[in-house]
């Protein structure tokens, strides 16, 4: 029985782009602002092992020559299917409230896996859910105002501004994809 974690999907998504070794993946997690996933070997190698036993990934080559001895891993067709399945799960409002990180990870991989039009549809639904969530958040903040210290109030506002930035970003992203279609 397999339950793929967000970390697992991050690995699948990266391998979809390019077959890589554990070490290469580690470097990506360590050196890029990607999601803030762990780059520790104790996280990555067990995760790879799991994905391998589930046959979602497989060693394509265990080269000993030039680039040292390393196990290059690639997606199997089942791995690709699992990744697609995950990307195709429709958004719900609760996701927007709590799992923006998950959403952005999905988006990052979506174009290459599902194509432009699916990505655009995803952006539309994200836009819709964000717009539904914003007033809920502002109302909550208003309701709390006065019942917390300034810093609590401001902390909430920080979250609000973050979501506002996402709203603007979605519009921007949509325009990029819409512009591309014609």
Partner DNA sequence: TGAATCATGTAATAGGTTACATGATTCT
Partner DNA sequence: AGAATCATGTAACCTATTACATGATTCA
Point out which span in 18-26, 100-108, 141-149, 163-171 binds DNA (CB under 7 A). 18-26
User: For residue 90, what is the DSSP state?
Assistant: P
Contact status: 77 vs a copy of itself (CB under 8 A): no
What 3-state DSSP class applies to 60? strand
Contact status: 117 vs a copy of itself (CB under 8 A): no
User: Residues with Cβ < 8 Å from 15, sequence gap 6 or more?
Assistant: 25, 57, 73, 74, 75, 79
What 3-state DSSP class applies to 61? strand
What 3-state DSSP class applies to 64? coil
Contact status: 159 vs DNA (CB under 7 A): no
Return the number of the residue (49 or 161) whose C-beta is nearest DNA.
49
Contacting residue, 31, 64, 89, 150, with DNA by CB under 7 A: 64
Tokens found for residue 113: 């896996």
Contact status: 40 vs a copy of itself (CB under 8 A): no
Residue 66 touches which of DNA, a copy of itself, none (CB < 5 to 8 A by kind)?
DNA
CA distance 30 to 177: 30
Where does this chain bind DNA (CB under 7 A)?
1, 3, 5-8, 21-24, 26, 38, 40-43, 45-50, 64, 66-71
């Amino acid at each position: 029985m397999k339950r793929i974690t967000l970390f697992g999907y991050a690995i699948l998504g990266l391998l979809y782009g390019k077959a890589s070794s554990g070490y290469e993946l580690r470097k990506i997690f360590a050196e890029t602002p990607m999601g803030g996933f762990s780059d520790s070997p104790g996280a990555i190698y067990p995760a790879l092992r799991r994905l391998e036993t589930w046959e979602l990934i497989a060693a394509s080559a265990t080269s000993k020559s030039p680039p040292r001895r390393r196990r290059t891993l690639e997606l199997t067709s089942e791995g690709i299917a699992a990744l697609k399945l995950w990307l195709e799960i429709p958004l719900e409002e609760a996701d927007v409230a709590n799992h923006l990180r998950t959403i952005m990870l999905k988006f990052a991989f979506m174009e290459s896996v599902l194509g432009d039009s699916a990505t655009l549809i995803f952006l539309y639904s994200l836009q819709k859910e964000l717009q539904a969530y914003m007033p809920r958040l502002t109302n909550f903040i208003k309701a709390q105002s006065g019942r917390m210290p300034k810093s609590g109030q401001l902390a909430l506002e920080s979250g609000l501004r973050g979501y506002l930035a996402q709203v603007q970003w979605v519009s921007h992203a949509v325009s990029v994809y819409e512009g591309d279609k014609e």
